[in-house]
Amino acid sequence: MKDNNVLEAKNLVAGYTDLDILNGVSIELKEDEIVSIIGPNGAGKSTLLKSIFGILKPRKGKVIFKNEDITGLKPNKIVKKGMSYVPQDKNTFPSLSVRENLEMGAFIKEDGTKEKINEILTKFPDLKEKENQKVSKLSGGQRQMVAMGRAMMLDPDALLLDEPSAGLAPNLVDEVFQKIEKINKTGTPILVVEQNARKILSISERGYVLEMGENRLEGKGKELLNNEEVEKLYLGG
């Protein structure tokens, strides 16, 4: 493929009950990109990530990952294909230590886990100090770092993040965004859902605005930042 897409969702239709929440959503994530998805509460942003990752089975449409059709595969299969996902909440194992959480991230790997844990702990120095503490004892920001670290344990070819800055104090929000950029710089394409539209768009190559389970707008991160409609609706301008 010339368009160097790593991940592509085509016309996804999905829902929890008879009602469709996604009514044909399409997105693309290319190599080396950060792509953001913004939109009002209940737009279907989390539902989109769940449908891509196989937690919810799409009713129509396709999910293509590294040129392979993975539509409808279960999450444990999709992990093995090389995608990682950090859910919006409950994204750590609270009674396990930081180190054990990371270790679980590499459950499907036979070896090299120790080295990888150490590598990740150097990337997240705050966690290094607390590596043997239970995650339930950590702050919200540190827990989010554990969740992202856990997802990075397999060196994924695509990383899905659902509202990584939700519920964090402003200074921590910046730290999380820096980490996202850093992870991306090491070659991991990231698809991220965010409420914090201004911040995420400013570090994204491209962004999508979702509304009522449909694509509303899309464009380069900078373009969306300057788009009147987006400004009015999401940037409080």
Partner 1 sequence: MIQQLIFGIVTGSIIALGAIGLSMIYDILDLVNFAHGDFMTLGAYLTFLFNVSLNLNLILAAALGIILTGVISLILDKIMWKKLRDKGAGSITLLITAIGLALVIRNLIVFQWGGSNVGFDLPLSQNLNFHGIMISTSGVLTVVVAALLMIALDLILRKTKIGKAMRALSDNKNLARITGINVDNIILWTWGIGTSFAAVGGVLYGLNTVIRPDMGWFLLLPIFAAVILGGIGNPYGAMVGGLIIGISQEMSTIILPSSYKIAVSFVILILVMLIKPEGIFGEK
Q: How many H helices and E strands in the chain?
A: 10, 10
Q: In whole angstroms, how close is the CB of 31 to ligand ATP at the nearest point?
A: 26
26 binds, among Mg ion, ligand ATP, partner 1, none (CB under 5 to 8 A by kind): none
Amino acid type, 213: G
| Binding track, positions 24-43, relative to ligand ATP; x by CB under 6 A | ---------------x-xxx
**Beta strands per DSSP E along 16-136:** 22-30, 34-38, 60-65, 68-69, 83-86
Q: In whole angstroms, how close is the CB of 215 to ligand ATP at the nearest point?
A: 13
Q: Which of 21, 127, 159, 183 binds ligand ATP (CB under 6 A)?
A: 21
**Beta strands per DSSP E along 31-82:** 34-38, 60-65, 68-69
Q: CA 226 to CA 21: how far, in whole Å?
A: 29
Q: CA 213 to CA 179: how far, in whole Å?
A: 29
Q: What is the CA radius of gyration of the chain?
A: 17
Can residue 47 be called a binding residue for ligand ATP (CB under 6 A)? yes
Q: In whole angstroms, how close is the CB of 165 to Mg ion at the nearest point?
A: 12
Can residue 94 be called a binding residue for partner 1 (CB under 8 A)? yes
Amino acid type, 88: Q
Q: CA 92 to CA 127: how far, in whole Å?
A: 14
Can residue 75 be called a binding residue for partner 1 (CB under 8 A)? yes
Cβ atoms of 148 and 87 closer than 8 Å:
no
Binding residues among 145-204 for partner 1 as defined by CB under 8 A: 150, 154
Q: In whole angstroms, how close is the CB of 41 to ligand ATP at the nearest point?
A: 4
Pairing between β-strand 83-86 and β-strand 190-193 as defined by DSSP bridges: unpaired
Binding residues among 59-98 for ligand ATP as defined by CB under 6 A: 88
Binding residues among 59-98 for Mg ion as defined by CB under 5 A: 88
The number of residues that bind ligand ATP (CB under 6 A) is 11
Contact window for Mg ion (CB under 5 A) among 46-54, 59-67, 125-133, 208-216:
46-54
Residues that bind partner 1 (CB under 8 A): 53, 55, 74-76, 79-80, 85, 87, 90-96, 100, 103-105, 107-108, 150, 154
